[in-house]
A and B are shown apart, each in its own frame.
Chain A
């Protein structure tokens, strides 16, 4: 990976003083993950270019990160872009090799420090998550002229499309320390990865290097979120330190992606509230949440004293760990904890642990099952588990036309195996009722459009013998 910094300031060779590196020598520095070399491809009075060449030891990286969590999985691969791209490794190298320049120190030419000079930074391969648009939104507000050339994945397979790598040139007239600071913070933000564990120390780094410019940057929020790897605890602290009022930024300012999630959360909230309400009105005391995910419904059920026994089951063990974290399971009062049971299970297998309950919620689950597994699911739920009532929801595919961001014919979630029309869902649910002795009613969830219906459809099954 190569970063070059060029100036046409006169005399251009002053760059050597600013960087504390002699233009006629190649100097090598040892870093924890490899080596960095500094040399000057050109150095005359009119124009001077310094190159920071990073030699990342890819084999060493794998050995070092082996056996660590999935967080750093990409680092545990030998086939890895890290040696060839600009990333947090480069930020570390900037801090190590150009530390004084980054900090704005220069004992030989102190007068140069505060002089804006014409500078050009070139990054051979900069991964940009968010594309050129985002790249420009990061650097243009800081008065850079941005040139970006995007590279395709493989010229033999043009169908595979573009890569996320750009060769980027940034031109500005500014202080060298500003340029280095911007690169230091924004390279990992564009890459959206960090090769080390992000903790409180990271806030300090961000605030120190972003002091002069971050609070006014229009992309401040994304920068902070990405820099701190979306860790809410850290980002909240950073935001409050960045803003004068000490409060979090307005929720409205979320970017498009988040707006979409917002919308989704709204629907999810309605869905879960309705589910809890229906089960409560039924008078159920012992309830199952089958496919409990990360436990949003469980949280609602737990606050209702009526539910004496609540079982959360999910096929993903990781989800159950998250549930425990979210509900602070280990710190729940004994009485509350006793009411909640969590275990891993699968709706494709008969499970005696699930038998004999009053009610079951099966929220946004069936669309994740392959149609070939549906018949097993049906028998497990309706024949063997057979609670007195079942609340089951699934997307209404007719409503998809109303989602602007959803291309026609695409399902709402990558893992959805099918999405049903109202007719399909209702005929399936009626078939279940007839086969297994239930009575079913249908309820729209969310805005009920005259033509395409509601975004989510809910069926409530009640077992006939259990009036």
Chain B
């Protein structure tokens, strides 16, 4: 006999000891799917037959079962389960997690069970035990349905029957994960047939009339329609709509979910006593002249609809009134109710409409949820959910969402067919009574605290340890700019492997070798400016900033540091900088070239002294000042001693060398400092175009970035925008490499910080996953401000060469993956919390303890 078991479901085996439950379970289910009470007894007491630990064993069993159910896994409970009291907690679990239950009863004669037990030395309990169990089981069979086991109860009454069983797993009706579209998802129609046809045509469907005068629809290649329910009531052409929808459904080009109006109509058609308010009367009168056969067809069609669907590997969920994360792909009355009515408090407001809860505001699921049900003036993304019921029947529009494109297509209503009870609102999910905030809701603490695992498209899952989120929470809360602006944080960058050339710590040779080993043949180098990292977002107008970023300030954008802090204390300087940048972009026509009204740039901002003022005064200058005074004194004392004939030559020489080192050190940091009195003292060197509307530009190679940004900098009238010198290196050509090395020597001899070496492509995956997106190679003099004035002295250098790069490199990759993910999510118009999660992750990783000098 073949029995059908929904997957997932909660399967409960019922049978006396010795009835063959465990054997049955092992034959038909994976070991990890089976939770056996004996096994749990063993876990808590080391003895699988110890009946005294039964309570503890079941606590463990229920706990594990709950975890599996929360994760959506098929789970089999292997225990005798012969008493209603034993089944009760299992049924409660199924209800809590909206699971279907399956009861498999092994009604084996007591004698057979006893014989089997007799063969097992560990089951030496009396014969009465099995006898009692068997009689309890027999009594139970009748009551199983009443207890709550509904559609799937299977009873087998002999060992032969049991042996003949074959289990067939069935996906839930809601599971259409293997279909990934493309889809055109259409909101509440309410009998607006003309608009529906226009919309289908606009979407590229062919709508024609067949011989019997009924419409037929052909879908453009590969596309399917998904109707979100509420086909009927209120509007003028309910019959036509139903005919079209049923036809499309039959011919396999449309998926349909039911709406609350449809369900009520079906009940009415079945002769149930329902009130004919809210437009039902219109449906019924329009159907009056139709054949009984058609009416029956409508009722059956509606009754056969599935509450909601999961498509595209679980990435898309559709339902009439939405679907919470923990109900997606589940089956219960509650799930169906949610799909039809959404989440309500059970109360009604002053005009008799149900008071709704903001499920979408709290939604944090991974799946995109598209729904309708409550008319809104304009669809808006809200935490990966979108309501596309734009109230056509109320004189609004009929709207479709294209998936995966996420484009909205709509047709305005020809007229107002039905007066709305209250005017359409921007979005009912907003707390309208509490002001007019146009934002996406507030970030939730649960979006950031604790240990986190963030999935990124580049590097799978990135794990953030709790102690790092603790630090990041404080830093972000106290110092960061408005999170709405914070769409990216740059990754840390590893230096090249330590060199042994001359008296150097770093040399380009090791950088080139790294990429050559990763089988990269073309790299670019760019000068590394010694300033401070700055992320700049510049918008075409303050309105763009408000609309796209949801900020309420009147600025053209923002300039922030690598830890998300405002770059300038003086906002007038920031505004001036943004304005100059905007002018340059205007002039280059980048808004048009990139088809955007905002640009996010990765830059270095000079001088270093703007951000490093405190550091300079507290650390760098004091070291230079004290060192030069002290060493001069030492030298003059040693010289006096020398005159007296004391043997101090070796010391004098050493101190002369140290004096020079200190002088070089002071010169090194002084180069990166100058006074900033106005904008014209600032240099901004952009080096990546991170993102613009609709695109993250990591798919272009560095040559593109360099070319675009060189144009931009050259177009600027003043010298605030600063070009970065660069070159290409063919790693198969020694001459090409030498040219770059010469350039590095030249730049660092002039006091430059050094260069950054990057593979020509922005994102490169090697044999073992992502490789470093860039490595830095710093110059000898610059490194004095990192490793101290006297690091070049041979006894220091030898020790400093022992440094490990692996943690730094691993962090660089993880942070890079998170940064890219943040931008991708922002560009995809994902909710703020999803973008923030990644940015927060970068900052948290930055609090890992890594040698700060790398």
Contacts and interface: CB of A to CB of B under 8 A. Distances in A.
B437 A81 contact: no
A121 to B, nearest CB: 13
Nearest to B475: A315
Contact of B625 (A49, A77, A153): A153
B314 to A, nearest CB: 26
28 contacts: A24-B646, A25-B646, A39-B646, A58-B790, A60-B799, A77-B619, A77-B788, A78-B791, A78-B853, A79-B619, A81-B623, A125-B629, A127-B626, A154-B624, A157-B621, A157-B673, A163-B626, A315-B474, A315-B477, A315-B478, A316-B474, A344-B473, A348-B476, A352-B444, A352-B446, A368-B478, A373-B477, A376-B443
A326 interface: no
B284 interface: no
A353 B449 CA distance: 13
Contacts of A58: 788, 790, 796
A163 B616 CA distance: 11
B621 A349 contact: no
B644 interface: yes
Nearest to B616: A160
Nearest to B793: A59
In this complex, the interface size class of chain B, counting residues with CB under 8 Å from chain A, is 35 or more
B648 interface: yes
Nearest to B621: A153
Contacts of B629: 84, 124-125, 151, 165, 167
B622 A165 contact: yes
A41 B449 CA distance: 63
A354 B617 CA distance: 42
B445 interface: yes
Interface residues of A, number: 70
| A-B complex: 9 closest residue pairs judged by Cβ atoms | A41-B640, A78-B788, A124-B633, A153-B621, A346-B477, A349-B445, A84-B630, A372-B482, A84-B626
Contacts of A370: 481-482, 566
Given A85-B630, A315-B477, A375-B552, A152 B644 contact: no
Contacts of B477: 315, 346-349, 373
Contacts of A151: 625-626, 629
Contact of A40 (B471, B483, B641, B789): B641
Contact of B630 (A124, A352, A372): A124
B648 A39 contact: yes
B91 interface: no
A409 to B, nearest CB: 14
A1 interface: yes
Interface in A35-85: 37, 39-43, 49, 51, 53, 58-60, 63, 67, 77-81, 83-85
B800 interface: yes
Given A2-B634, A42-B640, A81 B470 contact: no
Interface centre among B431, B435, B471 (most CB of A within 10 A): B435
A384 interface: yes
B670 A156 contact: yes
B172 interface: no
Nearest to B566: A370
Contact of B626 (A53, A125, A315, A352): A125
A40 B477 CA distance: 58
Contacts of A229: none
A369 B440 CA distance: 21
A40 B647 CA distance: 11
B788 A125 contact: no
Contact of B646 (A1, A26, A160): A26
A25 B449 CA distance: 64
B637 A160 contact: no
Nearest to A74: B619
Given A39-B641, A152-B625, A384 B630 contact: no
Given A2-B637, A24-B645, A165-B629, A160 B617 contact: yes
Contacts of B482: 370, 372-373
Contacts of A167: 629, 633
Contact of A350 (B442, B471, B478): B442
A345 interface: yes
A59 B477 CA distance: 36
B529 to A, nearest CB: 20
A286 interface: no
Interface centre among B437, B477, B634 (most CB of A within 10 A): B477
A349 B675 contact: no
Interface in A7-31: 24-26
B838 to A, nearest CB: 16
A435 interface: yes
A71 to B, nearest CB: 16
A346 B785 CA distance: 36
Interface in B287-330: none
Interface of B: 431, 434-435, 437, 439, 442-449, 470-471, 473-474, 476-478, 481-483, 551-553, 566, 616-617, 619-627, 629-631, 633-634, 637-638, 640-641, 644-648, 651, 666, 670, 673, 675, 785-791, 796, 799-800, 849, 853
A317 B474 contact: yes
A372 B481 contact: yes
Contacts of A78: 786-788, 791, 853
Contact of B621 (A2, A42, A160): A160
Contacts of B640: 41-42, 49
A344 B622 contact: no
A154 B621 CA distance: 6
Nearest to B632: A124
Interface in A132-168: 151-154, 156-157, 159-161, 163-165, 167
Given A42-B644, A153-B625, A157-B621, 18 more contacts: A24-B645, A26-B648, A40-B646, A41-B637, A42-B640, A59-B799, A79-B619, A79-B788, A85-B630, A154-B666, A160-B616, A165-B629, A167-B633, A317-B470, A346-B445, A353-B445, A370-B481, A436-B434
Contacts of A315: 473-474, 477-478
Contacts of A42: 640, 644
A175 interface: no
A350 to B, nearest CB: 5
A370 B479 CA distance: 8
A379 B437 contact: yes
A317 B621 CA distance: 33
A272 B73 CA distance: 53
A241 interface: no
B443 A79 contact: no
A101 B210 CA distance: 116
Nearest to B361: A350
A351 interface: yes
A372 B553 contact: yes
Nearest to A317: B470
A59 B634 CA distance: 20
B327 to A, nearest CB: 19
A393 to B, nearest CB: 19
Contacts of A67: 849
A346 B442 CA distance: 12
Contacts of B445: 345-346, 349-353
Contacts of A59: 788, 791, 796, 799-800
Contact of B443 (A37, A163, A350): A350
Nearest to A41: B640
A43 B644 contact: yes
Nearest to A318: B474
A84 B623 contact: yes
A308 interface: no
Contact of A81 (B616, B622, B645, B790): B622
A160 B613 CA distance: 9
A326 B473 CA distance: 23
A39 to B, nearest CB: 5
Contact of A1 (B435, B481, B630, B648): B630
A164 B477 CA distance: 34
A91 interface: no
A383 B449 contact: no
Given A2-B634, A345-B445, A372-B553, A79 B625 contact: no
